[in-house]
Amino acid sequence: MEKSRFLELEFVTLRKEIEEANTRAFQLMLGGVTVIPGIQYLAKTFQLDAITLGLPVLVLVIALLFLAQNLTIMRAGLYIREQIEPFIPDIVGWEAWLEKAEQGQGRRTYDKLVTNSFYLLYLMYYCFSVYLARAAAAVLFSGGVSTIILIFYSVVGIGIAFLIFRNLRTSTGPIETPGQPTNKRRSKK
């Protein structure tokens, strides 16, 4: 197989992977927006406090799955920008074009707004679900247990928020790590 055909097939495959990851991310967003309040409504209606206790975990799982889809998209875009686009002469590819103008024209503004909106919404869902879980724990257990549940979910929430913050990407630009030089785009040979 010749190199140009290989690059073409790889590009098409990665664009399809990006499209599928975008679809999954949107489904997670839409599902979470409807499923989380729906589960809470059913738990409250049928007095299933045990389900309310686990609701913060569901919110975190959905947020982590969304992060995984975001990282899949960014990884594929980075590969296209660094391993495919440099070998196509006389063009600026989509990923390079987005990154080239990032400083001044905000070509990734949509990506940033969608991602930040998702996490803001899920932060509110998480805080509210922790509040409801504490209230349910107060009904089911002694006051000490409900405080322990509040502390546990607060620590877990902060840990997951840190994990998300460290791994959140809305750009295929190089990741700058202290003490390491950034990746430079390969030169055409």
Give DSSP secondary structure letters for 39-103.
HHHHHHHTT-HHHHHHHHHHHHHHHHHHHHHHHHHHHHHHHIIIIIGGGSTT---HHHHHHHTHH
Q: In the prediction, which pLDDT does 78 show?
A: 92
Closest CA to 67 of 166, 147, 158: 166
How is residue 145 written in tokens? Answer: 């247990």
Q: Which helix (H) or strand (E) is 23 found in, with range?
A: helix 3-45
Torsion sign, CA atoms 65, 71, 75, 77: positive
Q: In the prediction, which pLDDT does 55 show?
A: 95
Q: In the prediction, which pLDDT does 186 show?
A: 40
Q: In the prediction, which pLDDT does 51 show?
A: 93
Q: In the prediction, which pLDDT does 56 show?
A: 96
Query: Phi, psi (5° rounding) for residue 183?
Result: -70, 130
* Contact by Cβ (8 Å): 130, 60: no
Q: In the prediction, which pLDDT does 182 show?
A: 47
pLDDT in tens, the chain (189 residues): 898 899 999 999 999 999 999 999 999 999 999 999 999 999 989 989 989 999 999 999 999 999 999 999 999 999 999 999 999 888 888 888 887 765 556 777 888 888 889 999 999 999 999 999 999 999 888 778 999 999 999 999 999 999 998 888 777 766 554 455 444 444 443
Is this structure's pTM higher than 0.85?
Answer: no
How is residue 9 written in tokens? Answer: 């097939």
Q: In the prediction, which pLDDT does 41 show?
A: 93
